[in-house]
Copies of this chain bind each other. A is one copy, B any other.
Amino acid sequence: MTTAVIGLGLIGGTFALALKDEKISTSIIGVENNEIHASKALQLGLVDEVLPLIEAVKKADLIILATPVTIASEQLTEILNNISTQIVTDTGSTKLGLIEAIKNHPKRGRYVPSHPMWGTEFSGPEAARHNVLNGIVNIICDKNDSDEDALEFIENIYNRIGMRLVYMNSVAHDTHLAYVSHISHISSFALANTVLGKEKEEDTIFNLASSGFESTVRLAKSNAATWVPVFKQNKENVLDVLNEYISQLRKFKSALEKENWEYLNELIENSNEIKRVLDKNVKDENISLKQISKQVVSKK
Cross-interface CB contact of A196 among B121, B219, B245, B277, cutoff 8 Å: B277
Stretch at the interface among A5-13, A35-43, A75-83, A208-216: A208-216
Main secondary structure of the interface of A (DSSP, over half): helix
How distant is the Cα of A246 from the Cα of B281 in the complex, in angstroms? 30
- Residues on B with C-beta less than 8 A from A280 are 206
Smallest CB separation, A131 vs chain B (Å): 16
Q: Which residues 214-272 of A sit at the B interface, judged by CB distance below 8 A?
A: 214-224, 227-228, 231-232, 235, 238-239, 241-246, 248-253, 256-257, 259, 261, 264-265, 267-272
Cross-interface CB contact of A119 among B212, B214, B242, cutoff 8 Å: B212
Residue pair A257, B239 in contact (C-beta under 8 Å): yes
Q: Report the count of interface residues on A (CB-CB < 8 A).
A: 96
Residue pair A190, B245 in contact (C-beta under 8 Å): yes
Residue pair B241, A271 in contact (C-beta under 8 Å): no
Most B C-beta atoms less than 10 A away, residue of A195, A231, A271: A271
Residue pair B119, A210 in contact (C-beta under 8 Å): yes
Residue pair A271, B208 in contact (C-beta under 8 Å): no
- Residues on B with C-beta less than 8 A from A224 are 264-265, 268-269, 272
21 contacts between A and B (CB under 8 A): A166-B208, A180-B206, A180-B210, A184-B217, A190-B271, A192-B270, A192-B272, A193-B267, A196-B270, A204-B288, A207-B289, A214-B278, A215-B215, A215-B219, A217-B274, A217-B278, A220-B274, A228-B261, A228-B264, A231-B256, A243-B253
